Structures are given as C-alpha cells and as structure tokens.
Chains A and B, each alone.
Chain A
Amino acid sequence: MSTEKFLEVSGLKKYFDVGRSTLFSSQSRSLHAVDGVDFTLRHSEVIALVGESGCGKSTLALLLMGLEDPTEGTVMYEGRDITHLGDHQRKDLRRKIQMVFQDPYESLNPTQTIEEIVTEPLAVHGLTHERDERVKKAMEDAGLKPAEVYLKRYPHELSGGQRQRVVIAAALVLEPEIILADEPVSMLDVSIRAEIINLLAELRITRQIAVIFITHDLGSVGFFADRVAVMYLGRIVEIGTMLEVLEKPQHPYTKALISVIPVPNPRLRRERIILQGETPNPIDIPTGCRFHPRCPVAFATCNASDPPMVTLSKTHQAACLLLVK
C-alpha cells in the first residue's frame, strides 16, 4: 500500500442558505452541513466515515463527487486542485471517482435494462472500444456471473443484493480509482450485507480501488476499513486506524457511539453510555466544542473554546479539550 497523498481534503465547508429567520428580518441563516473537514486518502485504502444523520457525511460525499460546490476549502487529487472544475475537466475526473448509493431500488432507472445501465457510463464518456467486453468484465467483477443472464433483465426482476451489484458494476465499468460508497448496505437484509461489503473489500485488492465508505453503523466497518473517521455536526472529531478507533477511542462521542452498538452476545451485556437529547440542528451550532451540550464529561471551558485536533499517535487524532495537555 503506497503512502502518498492520493486524495487530500482540507478545510472543506458547505453552508446552505435556509432563508430568513423571522418574517421581518432580512438576516439570512445558513445550515452548516459540512464545517471544516480535513482528511487524506491513500492509494487503495479503505476509509470509513461514520456518523449519525445530520453529521454531514452525505453532503461530504456530494462535495467529493463535485455534485455540490463547496463554500470553502480544497480537494486535491493526485496533487491537482479539483475543488472547482469546469464541466469538461470534471467529466474526465468522474471516470476516476465513482459513487455507490444507499438505496439500490432508487438508484437504478426502472425503464432501463441492466445492460443499458452498465453500458451507459461508457456511452456518456464516448468509450466505444471493446464496450461489450468491458461491460461483461465489470459485471462479473461485481459478482453478476455469468453476465449474459442479467443483461436483458430489468431492475425489478433482481433482488436487493443483485441490484446493488449492478450499481457497483456500473461504477466499475469506468475503471475508477476511488469508489465512494454512501451507506451501500443499510437498505439490505443482514444476510446479504456481508456479501456487498466483502465485494468492496475484494475490489480494493483485485483492482487497487480506494474506497470511502460512508455509514452510520460502526459495527459494519470492522475488518474491512483501514481507517475510521467519526463525524459529528459537520466535522471529523476523531480519526485513526480501525483498531485505534474501535478499541481505544479517545473522543467522548466515539466512546458513546461504540458503547451503544449492540453486540450479538447475550453474555456480554455492557454498560452503555447513552447520550441524552438529539444531535443539535446544524443551523445553530453550539459555541465552543460543538459536542459539549451532550457530552457526559464536559467541563467549564468546553462551551468557550473550540478544541483543535490533538495528535495521539502517528495515525490517531481526536478533537477534545480533555486531550489537550
């Protein structure tokens, strides 16, 4: 695994205008969906972005895909600034970064056959050379074997897992270097989830594809992710290798999140740290540390100063005032 910086995100922000606060005031308010995110992705690395709804993980995905324009910050790809690109350059780049969506029922056009769906990216990019071979290879790499069986079918004739494989095949056909998977298994049955995760894990080995795996379920990142980044209210609050984050979490939010994930073992009923209330509205971000109103270990200065990322090891960082020495 190479260690060079392949995709580098720094200070990325996305604010959405949500209109006036009251009837007569002209002051506009904004929703801080992504509020300063930094991370890097290496070649064929799997990074998991974990967070609850409203933490900005889906907006981050759209920003990385260039489907939304960031308010601030930069995204570098192989040393090139790709934050703001013209349509043409963006289109070339799209071959390198592909996306897999949460709901395989929704992300396939019901009027297209599987063949059309998988061929479409090639047609869009004008790639005519060996088209049928590429389609076949992409489908078989995505586990749709033999491809001929599926070509003429429509999405509604397939099961959920097969549909997600079609989505993955349509991404693979462009031979991307990064796949951004936004909750790719959360709509699937438990018995099928593992096969999609295993498929993605295989691709990084066979095709050297880096994966950004966005999920709300810390439990599912297990053996598959190299690194885990935990997001809260538009920011990464802790990032580290999978074992560092899962076994030695440092941020109180990560600790709580890990403690409430049910473990399938009745002999291991653990003490859970249940945070009260709900994630605050991203329109009114709390002052100081954004987690302090719900933090079980918050102290006096937490509402005043915004904690910086504290380096805990070469690979492990967390943003909490308790860690500042």
Chain B
Amino acid sequence: MQSTVQSTKPQNQLVSRFLGFWQVFRKNRSGLIGLGMLILIIFVAVFAPLIAPHDSSSSANVEIGDIYLQPSATHWFGTDDAGQDVFSNFIFGARVSLTVGFFAAFISIIVGGIFGLVAGFFGGRWENFLMRFTDIMLVIPDLPLMVVIVALTKPALLNIIFVIGLLGWTTTARVVRSQTLAVKSRKFVLRARAIGAGRGHIVARHILPLVMPILVVQAVLVVSLAILNESALSFLGLGDPTTLSWGQMLNYAFGRGAMSTGAWWALVVPGFGIVWVVLGLTLLGQGLEKVLNPRLETHHLMPGRPSVQKEAGWEVVKKGTLLEVQNLSINYVNEGKPPARAVENVSFTLKEGELIGLVGESGCGKTTLMLALLRLLPAAGQIVNGKVFFNGRDLVTLSDDELNNIRWSGISIVFQGAMNALNPVRPVGEQISEAITRHLANSSKEKVEARVIELLELVGIASDHKDHYPHQYSGGMRQRAMIAMALACNPQVIIADEPTTALDVMIQAQILELLDDLRKKLGLAVIFVTHDLGVVAEMCDKVLVMYGGVTAEYADVDVIYNTPKHPYTQELLKAFPDLTKPKKKLSSIPGYPPRLEALPAGCRFAPRCPAAFERCHVEQPSLHILADGHIASCHIVEASR
C-alpha cells in the first residue's frame, strides 16, 4: 500500500535535512569544538590498547618503589597507588566512563522520552499520573538515592548503569512533555486530525519529527550528567571495584595517600578526563541548541549604531509644523552581507492637531520608520540619512540625554500589542506613574496618584483597576491603558502603531472613537500606522502610502481615495472590501512584497505592477510633486505630467 513516495524519499530527505543542518552547525564555533573534543576522546577509548603505552591490567612487575612515581619519560603522568601507569589507566578509564555515560543516558532518554511523549500526547489521567510521578522523582535528590540503592545492591558496572539511567530520566520527561504539548497544540496537528489521520500517524509524522531535535540536545546533556554521577558514585566508594573508571582512579588516589605524598598527577589527570568529556558535551549541546532554536542575540539595551546624515535636509521648517521628517533613510546592517535598505528617503510633515495615516503591507518599513523617529531602532538598525525636526530641533543629532527628555513628554507611542508592551509583573497604574515621575519635575506622590486616576478615567477605565496587573485586563482595556500611558506627560505627538490590530471589530471601533475624541479634546497630533485602509479613510487627514520601504504616494485623504495616482495605491484600494458595495468583486495584487535583502533593481513595486514598463525594472523612480502636498514616486506619473 505504501507507494514509492514513502519508501524512497525519506532517506534522501533525511540526508538532505542532515546536510542542511550541518551547513548551519559548522558555523557554530563552540559546537564544533565540543564535537571535536568528543570525537577525540571516543577515538582514544576505542583504540585504547593501541594508544596506551603500558598494559593497564597487569601490575605484575610492580615493586614498592614504583608507587606514585613522578612523571617521567616512561610514565608520562607518573604512576598511581598501585604503581600502575596513570596515563594508561586514564586511556582505559575513558572506556569505562564513556560506556557508563552512554548506556545510562540511553536508558534515561528512552524512559524519559516515552514518559514525556505519552503524558504530553495523551493528556488526561496518563499525564496526571506520569507527571506527578516525574515531579516527585525530580524533587527527590538523585545522588543520595543512587548511593542508597547501590549500597544496598552490588556495586557492579551493570547495576550502576541501571541505577543512574533509571534515576536520570526526569528532566528528559519534562522537556519532552512540554515540547510534545507545544507541538500538539499547533494547528498542523489539528489539520492532520481533520484529514482523518490516526494517533499513530500523527505521532510518527508530526510529533516525533519536531520532538526529536530537542531530545538530541537533551541526550547530550544527560550523557554528561551520567558521567558526572558515575564519577561521584565511584569517588564515594560505590564504583565497580573490578573496573577502573576515572572516578574510581580518583577514589583510589584520594583514599590512598596521593594528597599526603603530593602526587598531584594521580589526582589531576583522571579529573581532567571528566572535565574534557563533560565540557565537550556541554559545548556540543549548546551548539546544537543554537542551531535548532536560533535566537537573535540582541536586545533593546544594546548600543545602537550612530546616525549618519549624508546630505542636508531643507532645514526650513514652516510655521505650525510640529514634526517634519526629511529624506529619512534607515538600513539594517547584517554582518557579512550588504545592508538591507529598510526605509529610503521618506519625508512627511505633521501639523498641530493633524492626523496622518501611514499605510502599507507588513514588512514595508512602517514600524521601522516610527521607531527611527525616536531613535528606538534595534541594534542592527541605523539611520543613514535624513533629519527629523521636532519643534525645530533635529532628533537625529540630539544627544542621548536631550532625546531622553523628549521621549514620551514630546512624542509618545501606543504600541501594537498592548499585552507585550506592558510589563506583566507590574501593576498598570505604576507603569503610568513611572512615566509621570520621570518627566514632570517635583510632582508629589499624591499629585501623581491623582493624575493616574484622571488618565485612566479619561480612557474609560475605572480607577479601582489601577493596581491590577495587565493579565487581569481584557484586550481592549489594555489598549486603553496603553493610551492613558501615552497621554501621561501631555505629549504633542502620539504615534499609534497598529493600535487596534488583533482586537475585535467592536473594540476596535471603541478605541478609534476614543483616540478621535482625545485628539479633538487635547489637540493632539497623531501618526496612525495601520494596514487597514478603511480605518485610515475614517480617521485621517493625510495619508502616506509606503511600499517596500519607500514612499509610494503621499496626499490628503480625499485625494488618495478618489484620485490616486500611484498604481500601488490604486491596486490596494481595489483589493480592499467596501461594505457599501457588497457585490463588487475584489481584485488582488499578484505576487508578494519584496524582501529587504533582495530588492528589485528598479521600482520596488515593478514586479507586481500591472502598468510597469521597461524603465520601471531598471530605474528607481524619484518622488514627483504632483500638486501642493501630493507626492507620488512612479515613472507613469512623471510621463503624464
């Protein structure tokens, strides 16, 4: 029944997946070092009889004078308490220690893997029982229990392997369970169920492939723990007396006078072996983890890149203009790659009390542009040109301290997902008052308190919610709280970055109404970032349409909607549903927005543009001023003028 599709491909696919993995892994230095360390010691263990200068098991020719001999040409690392060659014992000891480590870890991984998989996948009573048991075993200290069990049975190698293996599965079970749960809750598993796939199929095809990588990382860790446990047991006198593991060597040396005779070599060398293996495994584990679960090693407090201003702006700022952005360009710098031109030559102005809409698809640079206004770009982001005049001062060149004073008190931001933008472990009121105390000098505690209550009531939140945490708020309330916070220091400009995305339509309407009311009441200027053309039409005075990091069109809202000039604006409007014309068929824009690392040579919209001609693919159009306050960047616009 199984056709060729299944019998031949998985192998090729495994190979190709492994090759793909290796391509990434080999760039990971610490992982490679770990792997190298491990391969070396395994090599040594496998070929021990060929490498060891002395036969380890025979102590036939040993005389009293041979005990604890100093390192010499014949005994590179001296001799031990039985007069045996430490270096040779070390090499043979690798066999024992690695055997115990790998076999014990194998048992742990199998037991823990099965427990975790069963608990995570089947849930219910099984999960309850297995996880309670796991939690109990996790709390009971491992080593003392191992000591008790080995002491009560025989300290034979097999016993030790089983005891370490059967007590070391707990963390694996937990890790595998949580990964199984995570995978199980993903939609593709639900989709597989909807197709009619049985449990066996789902586990084999969907759960295991995504649990396996974590299990491999876990296995590496478990091996190192097993080796450490074996050495500790041996050191405590519970090792197999018939074999000589590194732990056992240390036990003998420590117990039989190596300290008092100063025979450091008998103590240092075996321990070095353990450190070597465990460090190798740890580095390998870290490397694997980084490949399988890549994280950007960057955060918001890393120093940003210095801004550059290649060409001067216009410098002239009209009266009544609050914010004037001139030719702003932003790059993302990637090590070893050309910089990604995320935003290029964007200009706009904002007057007092004005509401400008910033529209574009995801990845068009909207958020990057907004963050750049307050120099809040991630570490890789860099302003490479342009000016941002706020009240006549250029924010791009301001010192950090001066800018910090303008942040929030001059320009504040309502972020996209309020759940993430509020600190989950601090009460909401506190997060608002913090901004007030930061910017309004010598305000008393009572005054700040009163102001927080005033702000909350302004956005429609009862003041008794002040001391609650964000998770106790509903989605709409969190967004209101975010708005209250943005208003805290009486800013002149508010940047609202998709403030209603992911909210229900009715809640969205409530928030939009609130923003509109506040704007009128407080005379705020607002930059409204959104992908929703309907919202822009209802709220905004002016619209800036962005595509792939550049200005497509910039004009009054009426012009944009009724006489748009840029093909992108026109197409976007055709794709957007209009409730007042329910029978109108929607048209889509074929293709997808350009990736920043692979921008087209000419106009960035050309590959999707229905009106594109030759020139569009080779030459980037410049910004054409069509009328006062109407700008479009398109070759057609130029031609028609």
Contacts and interface: CB of A to CB of B under 8 A. Distances in A.
Complex A–B touching at CB under 8 A: yes
Contacts of B201: 124
Contact of A267 (B1, B206, B562, B585): B562
A298 to B, nearest CB: 16
B509 interface: yes
B193 A67 contact: yes
Contacts of B378: none
Contacts of A106: 186-188
B571 A191 contact: yes
B578 A121 contact: no
B46 interface: no
A219 B578 contact: yes
Contacts of B5: 115-116, 119, 123, 131-132
B575 A126 contact: no
Given A111-B210, A217-B505, A219-B534, A265 B561 contact: yes
Contacts of B534: 219, 261-264
A220 B576 CA distance: 8
Interface stretch (B239-247, B424-432, B589-597, B628-636): B589-597
Nearest to B195: A121
B588 A263 contact: no
A294 to B, nearest CB: 9
Size range of the interface on A?
35 or more
A191 B575 CA distance: 6
A67 to B, nearest CB: 6
B582 A98 contact: no
Contacts, number: 206
B535 A262 contact: yes
Most chain A beta-carbon neighbours within 10 Å: one of B186, B194, B533:
B194
Contacts of A267: 558, 561-562
DSSP majority for the B interface? helix
A152 to B, nearest CB: 9
Interface residues of B, number: 71
A278 B361 contact: no
A52 interface: yes
B513 A272 contact: yes
A317 B162 CA distance: 70
Contact of B561 (A110, A242, A264): A264
Interface in B515-538: 531-538
Contact of B361 (A107, A167, A191): A191
A69 to B, nearest CB: 13
B572 interface: yes
A257 B579 CA distance: 11
A312 interface: no
A297 to B, nearest CB: 16
A272 to B, nearest CB: 6
Contact of A120 (B197, B513, B533): B197
B588 to A, nearest CB: 4
B586 A98 contact: no
B6 interface: yes
Contacts of A102: 187
Given A107-B191, A126-B1, A278 B474 contact: yes
A219 B1 contact: no
A305 interface: no
Contact of A242 (B9, B187, B190, B582): B582
17 contacts: A109-B210, A120-B192, A121-B195, A124-B196, A125-B196, A189-B531, A189-B592, A189-B593, A190-B572, A222-B578, A246-B579, A246-B582, A256-B506, A262-B532, A266-B537, A267-B558, A274-B510
Given A246-B579, A269-B537, A274-B513, 16 more contacts: A52-B505, A94-B195, A99-B191, A107-B187, A109-B209, A170-B191, A174-B195, A198-B586, A222-B586, A262-B535, A263-B578, A264-B533, A264-B561, A266-B540, A278-B506, A279-B504
Interface of A: 52-53, 65, 67, 87, 90-91, 94-95, 98-99, 101-103, 106-113, 115-116, 119-121, 123-126, 128, 131-132, 159-161, 167, 170, 174, 189-195, 197-198, 216-220, 222-223, 242-243, 246-247, 256-258, 260-269, 272, 274-276, 278-279
